[in-house]
Amino acid sequence: MTYEQPIVQSAAVIAMHMIDIADAIDLPGAQALWEKQKRPAGVRSKLSSTPPKAVTFGVPPLLLTLDPLDLTLLGSAYRAQVTVRLYDFGAAAFSIQVPVASCDWAAFSQLVNAVDALLGPGADSPVWMQLLEPVRAVLLSSLTRPSPASLHEDYLLGIVHAFDRAIPAGSMHERIDLVPLLSGEQRALSEQARKDLLQQRFSYYVDDLVVLTWDRAFMYEPRRDSDVTDILEVANAQLLEMRFYDELLDAELPRMYDMVEAAHHAGNPLASRRFADLARKLYTLVAEVTEVTEKVDNALQVTEDVYLARVYASALDLFRVRHVSEAVDRKLAIIRDTYDALYEEASGKRAELLEIAIIALIVVEIVIAVLRI
C-alpha cells in the first residue's frame, strides 16, 4: 500500500513521566510553597473544553510550570515546555512538550521516536531526575512520607494540529502510515500486528482522531484541546499508584506470615496480646491502603461525556489498571481474612486465660477450705 506524505504544519511531541514521590501531597500547601519561590502561580487543573458536570477530577491536581528545556533531536535544537502535575495521592506527572513545525510525516514519526530514545523508559535518561529534585526540594514539607521515586510510568504522544491538506479522520489511518509512530519499529510489521496496533481508534468530530496503544498515542486535534491528553495522564497516574500498592502488599504478605508464625510459637500466657497487636497492625494497613486506592479510583469521574468515557475506559484497559487494582483487592482480602482469624484467636486466647484464672481461684478456695478444717 502506498501512503500519503502530508506536511505537518503544526504539531507537538509530548513525553510524560509519572513518578510516585510520596504517600500523599498537601496540594494547597504545595501551591503556597511553590509560589513563595517567586515561581509562576500553580493552577488547580480542570479539563480545557469539557463542562465540569460531565468530567471532573475527584481532587483537582496542581499544575506547576517549570523552566523550558533545550533538547537536541536528530541534529536540530528544540526548546521544550515543561510542566508537572501533582496528584493528592502522591503522584507527580512530568510533561515535556516539544513543538514541531513544517516537516513531512516521515520526519515527524522519526522525531517522535527520537524523543522516545532520549526520554523514554529504555533510555535511562537523567533528565527526569534533574527535573524532579528541585521540585521535591521546594515541596518537601507538603509531602507525607516521601518515597525514593523508584517507581515510574512513561507515555508518549504525537499530536498533530494541522496538516497542509484536509484528511478525513475516519480514513486517516488508511491514508497515512501511523504504524511507525505508534510502534517505534523500523522494520515492517505483519498485517495482524498492524491491525492490532490501530484497533483503539476514537473520533468525536469528523476532523479529530485518537489512536491509543499501551505506551504511545497519536492524536489529530486541530482545536488544540488537551482533554484527551489529560485523561491519558490520569490513567497512567492511576496505574502507577496501583502498581505501588501492589508491590507494597507483595512485600507485606510474607512479613505478615512470618509475624503470624512467630505469634503462634510464642507459647506464653500473653500470646493473646501478641495476636491483638498484630491484628491492629493489619487493620491499620488495610485501612490506609483502602483509603488511598479509593482516592486513586476516584481521581477522575466521567459522567456525561460519552466520548471521553470511551477513551478513558479504553486507556484503563490498555494500561491494565483494573487488572492491577483487582490484584490489590485480592491481597487486601487475604490480609482482612488474616485479621479476622487473628482477632478470633486473640479472643480465644483471652477466654482460655480467663478459664485458667477461674480454675486457679477455685483451687485456691478449695485449698484454703481444706486448711481451715
* 212 shares its domain with 140: yes
Residue 122 pLDDT exceeds 90: no
* 216 shares its domain with 276: no
The per-residue pLDDT for 121 is 78
Q: Which of 192, 223, 254 is the last residue of a domain?
A: 223
* 115 shares its domain with 146: yes
* 255 shares its domain with 172: no
Where residue 349 sits, what CATH number does that domain have? 1.20.58
Kindly report the backbone phi and psi dihedral angles of residue 80, in degrees, each rounded to the nearest multiple of 5, phi listed first. Answer: -100, 145
As for how many domains the chain has, the answer is 2
Would you place residue 133 in the very low, low, confident or very high pLDDT band (cuts 50, 70, 90)? very high
* 204 shares its domain with 239: no
Question: Quick check: is 3 in a domain?
Answer: no
Cβ atoms of 128 and 90 within 8 Å: the answer is no
Residue 227 pLDDT exceeds 60: yes
* 243 shares its domain with 198: no
User: Higher model confidence: residue 56 or residue 188?
Assistant: 188
The per-residue pLDDT for 15 is 97
Q: What's the average model confidence in pLDDT over 363-371?
A: 78
Would you place residue 46 in the very low, low, confident or very high pLDDT band (cuts 50, 70, 90)? low
Q: Which of 198, 223, 248 is the last residue of a domain?
A: 223
Question: Quick check: is 253 in a domain?
Answer: yes
Summarised one tens digit per residue, pLDDT across range 86-119 is 999 999 999 999 999 999 999 999 999 999 999 9
Question: Quick check: is 1 in a domain?
Answer: no
* 281 shares its domain with 199: no
* 250 shares its domain with 208: no
CA neighbours within 13 Å on the CB side: how many for 256? 24
Question: Quick check: is 66 in a domain?
Answer: yes
* 212 shares its domain with 238: no
* 284 shares its domain with 198: no
Question: Quick check: is 2 in a domain?
Answer: no
Residue 292 pLDDT exceeds 70: yes
Would you place residue 49 in the very low, low, confident or very high pLDDT band (cuts 50, 70, 90)? low
* 94 shares its domain with 205: yes
For the ranges 51-55, 250-254, 347-351, which has the lowest average pLDDT?
A: 51-55
Q: What's the average model confidence in pLDDT over 307-332?
A: 89
Residue 43 pLDDT exceeds 60: yes
Residue 231 pLDDT exceeds 70: yes
The per-residue pLDDT for 264 is 60
Q: At what angle do helices 105-119 and 127-139 cross, to 10 degrees?
A: 60
The per-residue pLDDT for 138 is 94
Q: What's the average model confidence in pLDDT over 227-234?
A: 91
Q: Which of 223, 254, 270 is the last residue of a domain?
A: 223
Burial class (CB in 10 A: 0-12, 13-18, 19+), 327: middle
For the ranges 134-143, 241-250, 362-371, which has the lowest average pLDDT?
A: 362-371
Question: Quick check: is 59 in a domain?
Answer: yes
For cell 504511545, name the residue.
Answer: 216
Summarised one tens digit per residue, pLDDT across range 25-40 is 999 999 999 988 877 7
Question: Quick check: is 229 in a domain?
Answer: no
Residue 175 pLDDT exceeds 80: yes
Would you place residue 283 in the very low, low, confident or very high pLDDT band (cuts 50, 70, 90)? low
pLDDT exceeding 70 applies to what percent of the chain?
Answer: 84
Does pTM top 0.75 for this prediction? yes
Summarised one tens digit per residue, pLDDT across range 322-341 is 888 888 888 888 877 776 76
* 269 shares its domain with 364: yes
Q: What's the average model confidence in pLDDT over 227-250?
A: 89
Strand-pairing partners, residue 157, are 14, 217
Domain boundaries, position 293: 234-372
**Averaged pLDDT of the chain:** 85
For cell 541534529, name the residue.
Answer: 75
